[in-house]
Amino acid sequence: MAQMSESLVLRDARRVVVKVGSSLVTNEGRGLDEAAIGEWCRQLAVLVRGGREVIMVSSGAIAEGMKRLGWTTRPHQIHELQAAAAVGQMGLAQMYETKLRENGLGSAQVLLTHADLADRERYLNARSTLLTLLKLGVVPVINENDTVVNDEIKFGDNDTLGALVANLVEADALVILTDQKGLFTADPRKDPAAQFVHVGQAGDAALEAMAGGAGSSLGRGGMITKILAAKRAAGSGAATVIAWGREPDALLRLSQGEAIGTLLLASTQKTQARKQWIADHLQLRGSVTVDAGAVVKLRGDGSSLLPIGMTAVEGDFSRGDVIAIRDLAGMEVARGLANYASSEARLICRKPSSAFEALLGYAAEPEMVHRDNLVLSR
């Protein structure tokens, strides 16, 4: 059953995002693994010549920078991390350029921060650039722009970045190459009874419970970040495979439908581009709390959010910002674009639209968040 599912999902995938982690790229911190990177680039070239479009999301800049600077432990100071990234990014980009060129492909370096994807115009610009590069047969090599990023605008890990890129370009599949064979029901290093998970559904809460904590000291991720990345990628209809990066010809065998690693399936329904952009926000400007009746209308009827159903407003946001909509228990029900700033929202909270003009001095939209600008949380 796993083999059939994987064949259907990946054999026919025309646009694929491949993500590789720091421990693989830098051979556990010993420096850029030229042989491994060359092998992945060879497989990417075969896929491109076969008519597929591929994007590489590669970690490794900070780890390579640490090696070049002679550091044995990952620093904690943001300016030291940024310095390591600046040093390491030079070697990382050069290595991919060399290996892709050896296989007849052009490459392009694309460095992103969450701010690039949180702003609608920059989001569309990034999408247009990537799609143009793919049309030209060039392989974009993407990394987080760690030289300028801070904790306020970080993706957090490149698994999340890979999922966001998959959503950005509406990829058919996300392949996460890691130092593990895939997902197990428990940590196989500690539990000999752990079972390998061949196929699952992205977004299944049971999968998150199975996933362990953070991974190596070099990277920021772990199996849980990969499971959550698959859940995020599923929002735009992309299936995710988590596989061992040193599996021989892993990308080629996956493209032929062979069952390798853990396949996490997505629902077939794709989110509209604008709603996907809303769903992909990692940092929100604020939130509104709504009563039980509003939750029913949002979830059951697909309605817009009216201020009369709001009970509280948190944060400092402007009109057009993405905000969370939470129930009385604090759980996120949905998120969307605010039609009113937080100061205005506090005035019209629990009020009918007929009272807006007297309270605000003008009457605009009757909704706090229109249903066309609202996406339910998964």
Amino acid at 126: A
The pLDDT confidence band at residue 213, using thresholds 50, 70 and 90, is: very low
At 364, phi and psi to the nearest 5? -110, -130
Q: Are residues 78 and 218 in the same domain?
A: yes
Q: Are residues 219 and 354 in the same domain?
A: no
- Between helix 223-234 and helix 158-168 the angle, nearest 10°, is 10
Distance of CA 18 to the CA centre of its chain: 12
pTM metric for this prediction = 0.78
Higher per-residue pLDDT: 236 or 349: 349
Query: Tokens in use for 86?
Result: 């600046």
Task: Compute the residue count for the chain.
Answer: 378
Contact criterion met (CB below 8 Å) for 128 and 170: no
6 versus 73: which is more confidently predicted?
A: 73
* Domain, as residue range, for 310: 284-376
pLDDT at res. 296: 96
Q: Answer yes or no: do 250 and 331 share one domain.
A: no
Residues 174, 31, single domain; the answer is: yes
- Pairwise CA distance, residues 145 & 20, whole Å: 16
Residues 141 and 246 in one domain: yes
Q: Select from 241, 276, 311 the last residue of a domain.
A: 276
The pLDDT confidence band at residue 216, using thresholds 50, 70 and 90, is very low
Whether the per-residue pLDDT at 26 is higher than 60: the answer is: yes
Q: Which two tokens stand for residue 366?
A: 């009757």
pLDDT for position 114: 79
SS3 call for 225: helix
The reply to whether 270 and 371 lie within a common domain is no
Do 334 and 259 share a structural domain?
Answer: no
Give the chain's domain count.
2
What six digits make up the tokens of 195?
């079972």
**In CATH, what number is assigned to the domain containing residue 56?**
3.40.1160.10
User: What pLDDT does 4 receive?
Assistant: 43
Same-domain pairing of 202 and 263: yes
Q: What percent of the chain has pLDDT over 70?
A: 91
Domain end among 256, 276, 296: 276
> Residue 9: what pLDDT?
65
Q: Is the pLDDT of residue 218 over 60?
A: no
Based on the domain organization, do 265 and 296 belong to the same domain?
A: no
CATH number at residue 291: 2.30.130.10
pLDDT, mean over the chain: 88
Same domain, 37 and 84: yes
Whether residues 217 and 160 share a domain: the answer is yes
pLDDT score of 8: 55
Contact call for residues 185 and 197 (beta carbons, < 8 A): yes
The tens digit of pLDDT for each residue in 294-311 reads 999 999 888 999 999 999
- Per the model's pLDDT, the better-predicted residue between 52 and 302 turns out to be 52
Is 147 strand, coil or helix?
Answer: coil
Domain stops at, among 229, 256, 276: 276
Sheet holding 374-376, edge to edge: 310-315, 286-290, 322-326, 332-337, 374-376
Same domain, 56 and 159: yes
Query: Is 60 exceeded by the pLDDT of residue 154?
Result: no
Per residue in 92-101, pLDDT (tens digit) is 999 999 999 9
Alpha carbon of residue 44 to chain centroid: 21
